[in-house]
Every structure is written in C-alpha cells, then in structure tokens.
Amino acid sequence: MRAGAETREARAFRERIPEMKRVFRTCGLVGAVLLSLCLAMPGQDVRPTREGQPPNVGQAAEPYAVFDTRPVILHGPYLVAPTETSVTISWETDTPCHSKVLYGVDRPNSEAISARDGLLNVGTHHTVHIRGLKPGQTYQFQAVSTRVVKMKGYWPDKGLTVMSPAAKFRTFDSARPSTTFYAVTDTHEDTARIAALMKLADWTNADFLLHLGDAFNTVENEDQVFARWLDPLARGIGPSTPLVYARGNHETRGPFAREFHRYVPIEEDRFYYTRDHGPVHFVVVDTGEDKPDNTNVYAGLNAFAPYREEELAWLETHSRESKRMADAPFRILAMHQPFWGYVNGENDRWTDWANRSGIDLALAGHMHRFSFIEAGRRGNRFPILVIGQDQLAKVEATASQIKVSVLAKDGSLVHSFVVERRAAGSRQ
C-alpha cells in the first residue's frame, strides 16, 4: 500500500466522528474528555466488537458493529411436508434476523441457509429448505438466527445469535414397509379442540400429521396463524413430527390469506403436490373455493377457475409420467372438500382422473361431520372418508392393506375399516 494511504478502518473511524461528536456533546465535560481520548487514539476500534471477543487493539476488527442484543424464537421450529431427500423447517423470531439450520446425522455439523438471489433473507419469519438428504435417515438439527439491528448499504449493524434446542427429524422413505399417520380437519381456530385431538395420538410412533384444511374461519394476521393453529399443533405433535397440509376453502379468505402460504412453506411453492412414504404414494389436492369466482362476496378478487384447470392438468401429467404413482402398493388422496370444490359442475372430470390414476382411498373434511362414502356410490372406484370436525383418523398402511380407525374427541371409536391392496390390473 502506498505511503500515506488511508486504511479502510481509519476511513470508517473518520466517518463516525460526526456521530460521536453529537453523542459526546450531550454529555458535557465528560463527553469532551472521551472525545479527545478517542481522537488521540485513531488506531483503536471503539465500535462494539464481535460476540465473545475482547476489544481488538492494534488489529482490524469486524467492519460492522455487533451490539449486545439477542433475538428470541417465538414460534417453532416446525417441520413441513418432508420428502425423501429434503425437509422444510420454519420458525419465527421477535426481531429481524438472518437464519440458517445446523443439521447432521451424528451431530449438527452441516448448515443450510435462507437466501434468495445471492442475499441472505432478513426478517422475522424464517424458512430453510434442506436438500440432498438420504431417504429414511434421522438427522439432528438446530435453528439458528442472528439479529440484524439496522440494514445499511455498508456495515449493517448486527446483534447476537440464538439457537433452538436440539431436535430431530426423519426424511420420508418409500422403501419402508409401513407408515402410520394421523389426520384431522376443520379445527377452525378452536385451540381446545386441537389440544384434545392431539392427545388421542401416539406421536412417538407416528410419521406425520395430515391436516385437511379449514384451520381458520378467515385468515386475519400472523398472530392468529400461530396462536390459533400452528402453536397448539406444535405443542401436541412436538418438534420432530412434520405437518402435511391440504388447503381448505376458509384459508382462501381474509386479509392475510395471500400471505398464508409463507407459514406452510411447501417446497413446491403450491398447495397441490405429492409425497412418498412407506407403501403409500400421497397426492395432495387443493380443492379451492366452494363457490364460483363471480360470487359477490369475493368482490371479483378470486380466480380459481383457471387455477383449478392448471391443477388438473398437472395431476393428469403426473399420473401419466410418475412410475411411483403406477407402482406404489397404495395411492391415498388428501383434500379438503370431498367432491372437489367448485368446478362448475364438472366434478366427474376430477373423479375420472382419480379412477384412472388408481386412487385407493380419499381423505377429506369440509362437512364437519363423519361420512363414509363407499366405492361406487358417486362414480368413485375408491372409498372416501370424510372426517368430522371433532374427530381424529389413524391410518396404518402396509404393503397389503390400509387400516383406518376414526376416533371421537373423547377417544371412543366412531368407525373403522380396511382397504385391501388391489391387483395392478384392477386399478383402472
């Protein structure tokens, strides 16, 4: 470096002098003395230092301030719709942070970040997608958030870091011989209902929770999403049980409905998708609204007709091209409305797709009462279970059969049935 050139640290110090003068001016004589001492020692960094580090005298310190303020994890972390090779983890902090997840088999020695277009995401809601995992593998993980005190073009002000308690997750695995999961629906913001239903399940031996929609009446704000749904669910299932979700029509309503997807961050970034676990190929369908787009209560703000056409086209393509769809011992359809939602009277098109795709069982809600629709009653070649509002279904699948038990909120048995595996040639 040429003689007399100003170092980056010296330049940064000089640029902060006007700010220091303003602060010390308010402190009278003591401030004047402190200012004179600072100006007499330009080689020392007087800014806050990195967490756990002593003042860095005579060496270049971090080129940004780190303040003694630590964020708090308010909600989560919780797991959303894992695949065989990935998982999505979300949580909420009280102040803006950038975040990552530490994970690993024996110990959390790898990390996945939350970033977009080359920039770490900064906010209070955090989502990290971890990819490149092994099917059926159990991983330890911790969510990590570091406070961002003030965003600036250069040298943003930072805070300290918070880490969630260590927890575990297990990826899905189509090679497993069996799967067990629980399904609920139409909880409609009733936290007592959620708590009672969650207590009926044996979560230590469950692979996931399937929520079939209508978690809300209308989606109003972030606090409601956590307080009336995600938090009570998390208290019931714990940090290691993932949530698989099918959107209800009530989640399409309200001032926060267009933000709701961020709190159920499905990796495909849409509400229709597939998953494989054990002997089951799961197809999650978004049944949309239950009334036409031009219904006055929607004030011309809905466009479900083209959305549902796109969804059906995707489902048709998936059925043609997915080897797993053809070869899995069972195909389970998860959806909110048992008869496809509002599709302008063309419900048979959707039922025809399901029949041709070899669906073995459909799970739904929406009606707020139990119903069991046997195969053949409405053109369906598969049974349709409609779970009541105060009920929990336990589903156990092996390579030869699906066993379903529906329990009332008091633990009494409402209904049970078995779906036997069909021969490949009889599926269509």
| 157 domain-assigned | yes
| pLDDT value of residue 209 | 98
| 388 domain-assigned | yes
| 67 domain-assigned | no
Say if residue 182 is in the same domain as residue 156. Answer: no
What pLDDT band is residue 5 in, cutting at 50, 70 and 90?
A: very low
Say if residue 151 is in the same domain as residue 221. Answer: no
| pLDDT value of residue 265 | 97
Average pLDDT for residues 137-166, to the nearest whole number? 97
- Please measure the distance between the N-terminal and C-terminal CA atoms of the chain and give it in whole angstroms: 77
The b/e string for 241-270 (b: 16+ C-beta within 10 A; e otherwise) is bbbbbbbbbbbbbbebbeebeebbbbbeee
Residue 32 has pLDDT above 50, yes or no: no
Say if residue 281 is in the same domain as residue 395. Answer: yes
| pLDDT value of residue 180 | 98
| pLDDT value of residue 8 | 52
| 116 domain-assigned | yes
Q: How many domains does the chain have?
A: 3
Average pLDDT for residues 217-224, to the nearest whole number? 98
| 66 domain-assigned | no
Say if residue 158 is in the same domain as residue 81. Answer: yes
Residue 57 has pLDDT above 50, yes or no: no
Q: Which of 132, 153, 170 finishes a domain?
A: 170
What are residue 118's phi and psi, to 5 degrees?
85, 0
| pLDDT value of residue 15 | 58
Say if residue 227 is in the same domain as residue 81. Answer: no
Say if residue 324 is in the same domain as residue 363. Answer: yes
What pLDDT band is residue 428 in, cutting at 50, 70 and 90?
A: low
Say if residue 232 is in the same domain as residue 306. Answer: yes
| pLDDT value of residue 364 | 98
What gap in Å lies between CA 28 and CA 108, rounded to an integer?
Answer: 51
| 68 domain-assigned | no
Chain length of the chain: 428
Angle at 223 (CA atoms; ends 289, 200), nearest 5 degrees? 75
What gap in Å lies between CA 346 and CA 313, rounded to an integer?
Answer: 14
Say if residue 237 is in the same domain as residue 339. Answer: yes
What gap in Å lies between CA 245 and CA 22, rounded to an integer?
Answer: 54
| pLDDT value of residue 424 | 72
Residue with tokens 């959303």: 80
User: Which residues fall within 8 angstroms of residue 212, CB to CB, at 6 or more apart?
Assistant: 183, 184, 185, 186, 246, 248, 334, 335, 336, 363, 364, 365, 387
Q: Are 60 and 51 in contact (CB under 8 A)?
A: no
Residue 58 has pLDDT above 60, yes or no: no
| pLDDT value of residue 14 | 52
Q: Using one digit for the tens of pLDDT, what is the confidence trace for 237-259?
A: 999 999 999 999 999 999 999 99
Q: Using one digit for the tens of pLDDT, what is the confidence trace for 379-417?
A: 999 999 999 999 999 999 999 999 999 999 999 999 999
The alpha-helical segments, DSSP class H, found in 90-230 are 191-199, 222-225
What gap in Å lies between CA 393 and CA 186, rounded to an integer?
Answer: 13
Average pLDDT for residues 221-235, to the nearest whole number? 98
The amino acid at 141: F
Q: Which of 170, 190, 221 finishes a domain?
A: 170
| pLDDT value of residue 63 | 78
| 310 domain-assigned | yes
The residue that leads in pLDDT, 290 or 425, is: 290
The amino acid at 193: R
Q: Using one digit for the tens of pLDDT, what is the confidence trace for 359-370?
A: 999 999 999 999
Q: Which domain holds residue 126?
A: 73-170
Say if residue 141 is in the same domain as residue 278. Answer: no
What are residue 88's phi and psi, to 5 degrees?
-115, 130
Say if residue 131 is in the same domain as residue 257. Answer: no
Say if residue 139 is in the same domain as residue 43. Answer: no
- Find, among 358, 415, 407, the residue nearest to 200 by Cα: 407
In percent, the amount of the chain with pLDDT more than 90 equals: 84
Q: Which of 122, 146, 170 finishes a domain?
A: 170
Q: Using one digit for the tens of pLDDT, what is the confidence trace for 67-118?
A: 999 999 999 999 999 999 999 999 999 999 999 999 999 999 999 999 999 9
CATH of the domain at 111: 2.60.40.10
| pLDDT value of residue 335 | 98
Residue 38 has pLDDT above 90, yes or no: no
Say if residue 256 is in the same domain as residue 392. Answer: yes
Q: What is the DSSP letter of 108?
A: -
